[in-house]
């Protein structure tokens, strides 16, 4: 996990409070060079959010405990990075960052299931 990942995760949760989760998510992934804490409020402004409320949410760590809990659950399940995809309770072991990799992983898992 890179140094800005945790705050970026918090930013998406804070954006969710204002109905802008996916907009913030997409914006952060579109330009991963601009996800430092000081950039996050600028993203909120660009999305037409209440930037003072957003900044307060970030500064107070409103969602920090929930994100730490999610991370701990992911680690228990064997997640080592994102994205990680599970199918029928099993982790897809193939590169799932694109449709072809995900499709390969799903096909292998479906074949294994059919053999059982």
List the chain pLDDT tens, one digit each, 116 residues.
678 999 999 999 999 999 999 999 999 989 888 999 889 999 999 999 999 999 999 999 999 999 999 999 999 998 887 777 787 787 876 665 677 877 887 887 788 776 55
Quick one: which of 3, 4, 9, 2 has its CA closest to 62?
A: 9
Residue 31, CB-side half-sphere exposure with 13 Å CA sphere: 10
Measured CA to CA, the distance from residue 53 to residue 82 in angstroms comes to 28
| Residue 101, C-beta contacts closer than 8 angstroms, at least 6 positions apart | 94, 95
The reported pTM is 0.76
Q: Which two tokens stand for residue 3?
A: 């140094």
Q: 61-82: b or e for each residue (b if 16 or more CB lie within 10 Å)?
A: eebeeebeeeeeeeeeeebeee
Measured CA to CA, the distance from residue 116 to residue 114 in angstroms comes to 6
């Amino acid at each position: 996990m890179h140094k800005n990942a945790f705050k970026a995760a918090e930013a998406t949760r804070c954006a969710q409070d204002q109905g802008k989760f996916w907009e913030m998510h997409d914006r952060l992934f579109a330009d991963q060079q601009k996800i430092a804490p000081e950039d996050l409020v600028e993203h909120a402004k660009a999305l037409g959010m209440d930037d003072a409320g957003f900044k307060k949410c970030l500064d107070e760590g409103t969602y920090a405990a929930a994100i730490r809990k999610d991370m701990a659950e992911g680690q228990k399940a064997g997640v080592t990075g994102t994205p990680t995809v599970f199918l029928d309770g099993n982790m897809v072991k193939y590169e799932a960052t694109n449709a072809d990799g995900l499709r390969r992983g799903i096909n292998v898992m479906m074949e294994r299931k059919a053999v059982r």
